[in-house]
Amino acid sequence: MTNQCGTSRIAGCQFTLYPMSDNFVDIILSALDEVDSSKVWKDTDDVSTCIRGKMVHIFDVTEAIFLHAAKTGEHVAMSGTFSIGCPGDSSGDVYMDETDEPQNQANIQSIEQEAGCKFALYPMGREDYMEQIMNQIDLSKSRGVKVSASHYATRLDGDVKDIFRTLHESFDQVQQEVSHVTMTFTVSANSPSNR
Amino acid sequence: MTNQCGTSRIAGCQFTLYPMSDNFVDIILSALDEVDSSKVWKDTDDVSTCIRGKMVHIFDVTEAIFLHAAKTGEHVAMSGTFSIGCPGDSSGDVYMDETDEPQNQANIQSIEQEAGCKFALYPMGREDYMEQIMNQIDLSKSRGVKVSASHYATRLDGDVKDIFRTLHESFDQVQQEVSHVTMTFTVSANSPSNR
Ligand SMILES: [Ca+2]
């Protein structure tokens, strides 16, 4: 609780990949092996993984890790929090010099995977945070995903690539107006409830 | 994204239990079966479970579900978001008439389970949100848990009951000062990384 806000536009995501399978270790390691994370700072422990860098790469890497795990056909979920604008510590700042070209989009293009996702945006430090959420997000333009209301969250259903594009656009729109933004998400694929 | 803030002090948690096991369905159903959730409103779909009611029961029920799943010895994690003060819709309001007696503490008292947890507090709608976090939380008094800093989060290690007591106390202290508070958490037990 000693973090201070900084001015860097470095983004980050603290997330965990959850394969509901006895082979969870192999699924996680294989997914990580197939994903190029060379453009993000990365730190993993037994609870979660943190990546930091340019926003485009944060979304590219999380999407690719989820897709490579989900294509195994196992019930796989990912929960995490995207963040930008705070805290202002310097780990990973060097990664802001990377180019904007996402490393994994070509490799995941052929993976077709349906999923369900719940997310919530939290613009920090603003008394008008509800207006910021309402004004900046127009989910009616979210092609390819079905949008519905949920308790404490908005639900997206559709192709994983459309879901992550919607997450990315929503987060990007709010962070253009609000310095410190966090966004929680849980995305789930191949649930037996849907078979 | 059409939620409005209300005045009710109803608390809630949107969470998912993740057993990393082929037997994940049985583990989830058994844990739910062993937990008394009669004092909370509950709604489950394929992505997550939402419970709402008095704060004491929200923490009691999430703790008990996690402990009953973790005692199987399988690698089990839970990720979610606690929330109070918003949105102000009325689902579950009737549960605010329940007594304050937690239903599951006696039943979990004998379960000894170590875990690691990362959590982050988000006081909403306040320009002084960083001060609110700093001022209200004194984790040095968190008996039984080891506290450490992590990117975008604070890490707690120790007995699951001590971890949930610390989460509950931290959330309660901030919500006494700030109307709308959310708190993300991920708690993980029996990870092979720790064997
Ligand atoms: Ca098995």
Residue B25 has pLDDT above 90, yes or no: yes
So what's the pLDDT on residue B46?
Answer: 94
Average pLDDT, chain B: 89
Of the two residues B72 and A134, the one the predictor is more confident about is: B72
Residue range B116-121: average pLDDT?
A: 95
So what's the pLDDT on residue B89?
Answer: 58
Tell how far the Cα of A23 is from the centroid of ligand 1, in angstroms. 9
pLDDT band at residue A93 using 50, 70 and 90 as cut-offs? confident
Yes or no, beta carbons of A25 and B139 under 8 Å apart: no
- Which B residues in the span 100-129 are in contact with A, Cβ-Cβ below 8 Å? 116-118, 120-122, 124-127, 129
Chain B residue nearest residue A2, CA to CA: B134
Residue range A113-132: average pLDDT?
A: 91
Average pLDDT, chain A: 89
Tell how far the Cα of B22 is from the centroid of ligand 1, in angstroms. 5
pLDDT band at residue B152 using 50, 70 and 90 as cut-offs? confident
Residue type, A158: G
Yes or no, beta carbons of B152 and A81 under 8 Å apart: yes
Yes or no, beta carbons of A25 and B124 under 8 Å apart: no
Q: Residue B76 has which token pair?
A: 């089990």
B49 carries a ligand binding annotation = yes
DSSP line for chain A: ------S---EEEEEEEEE-STTHHHHHHHHHHHS--TTSEEEE-SS-EEEEE-HHHHHHHHHHHHHHHHTT-S-EEEEEEEEES-----TTGGGGGS-S--SSHHHHTT---EEEEEEEEEE-S-TTHHHHHHHH--GGG-TTEEEEEETTEEEEEEEHHHHHHHHHHHHHHHHTT-SSEEEEEEEEES-GGG-
Quick check: A91 contacting B, CB < 8 Å? yes
Yes or no, beta carbons of B16 and A192 under 8 Å apart: no
So what's the pLDDT on residue A4?
Answer: 44
Closest Cβ–Cβ partner in A46, A139, A191 for B193: A46
Q: Residue A38 has which token pair?
A: 């060379």
Q: Which of B20, B29, B137, B22 lies closest to B78 in space, CA to CA?
A: B20
Yes or no, beta carbons of B81 and A14 under 8 Å apart: no
Angle at A175 between CA A100 and CA A50, to 5 degrees: 65
Is residue B106 classed exposed, middle or buried when 0-12, 13-18 and 19+ CB atoms within 10 A define those classes?
A: exposed
Residue B44 has pLDDT above 90, yes or no: yes
So what's the pLDDT on residue A194?
Answer: 76
Residue range A56-71: average pLDDT?
A: 98
Counting residues of chain A whose pLDDT is more than 70, the rounded percentage is 91
pLDDT band at residue A26 using 50, 70 and 90 as cut-offs? very high
Residue B171 has pLDDT above 80, yes or no: yes
Quick check: B4 contacting A, CB < 8 Å? yes
Angle at B184 between CA A167 and CA B63, to 5 degrees: 135
Closest Cβ–Cβ partner in A46, A81, A126 for B191: A46
Nearest-CA distance B188 → chain A (Å): 6
Tokens 């079905």 -> residue:
A146
Q: How many other CB atoms are found less than 10 A from the CB of residue B96?
A: 14
Residue A128 has pLDDT above 90, yes or no: no
Residue B30 has pLDDT above 80, yes or no: yes
- Give the whole-angstrom CA distance, residue A58 versus residue A41: 10
The per-residue pLDDT for range A146-169, each reduced to its tens digit, is 999 888 899 999 999 999 999 999
Q: How far apart are the first and last CA of chain B?
A: 43
CB pairs under 8 A between A and B: 165
Task: Classify strands B41-44 and B114-123 as parallel, antiparallel or unpaired.
Answer: unpaired
Enumerate domains of chain A plus CATH numbers: 11-88+111-190 (3.30.70.930)
The most distant pair of C-alpha atoms in chain A lies apart, rounded to whole Å, by 47
Closest Cβ–Cβ partner in B48, B118, B149 for A47: B118
Is residue A57 classed exposed, middle or buried when 0-12, 13-18 and 19+ CB atoms within 10 A define those classes?
A: buried
Quick check: B70 contacting A, CB < 8 Å? no
pLDDT band at residue A94 using 50, 70 and 90 as cut-offs? confident
Quick check: A192 contacting B, CB < 8 Å? yes
pLDDT band at residue A193 using 50, 70 and 90 as cut-offs? confident
Residue B80 in contact with residue B16, Cβ under 8 Å? yes
Residue B192 has pLDDT above 60, yes or no: yes
Tell how far the Cα of A58 is from the centroid of ligand 1, in angstroms. 34
* B chain contacts of residue A152, beta-carbon cutoff 8 Å: 12, 14, 50, 81, 83, 87, 182
So what's the pLDDT on residue B5?
Answer: 47
User: In Å, how far are A166, A194, B45, B74 from B25, measured between CA atoms?
Assistant: 30, 13, 13, 13
* A chain contacts of residue B25, beta-carbon cutoff 8 Å: 192
Quick check: A90 contacting B, CB < 8 Å? no
Residue A72 in contact with residue A34, Cβ under 8 Å? no
* A chain contacts of residue B133, beta-carbon cutoff 8 Å: 1
Main-chain phi, psi angles of B53, to 5 degrees: 160, -155
pLDDT band at residue B119 using 50, 70 and 90 as cut-offs? very high
Please give the sequence-ordered ranges of beta strands (E in DSSP) within chain B, or none if there are none: 11-19, 41-44, 49-53, 76-84, 114-123, 145-150, 153-159, 181-189
Q: How many other CB atoms are found less than 10 A from the CB of residue A140?
A: 7
Residue range B87-109: average pLDDT?
A: 83
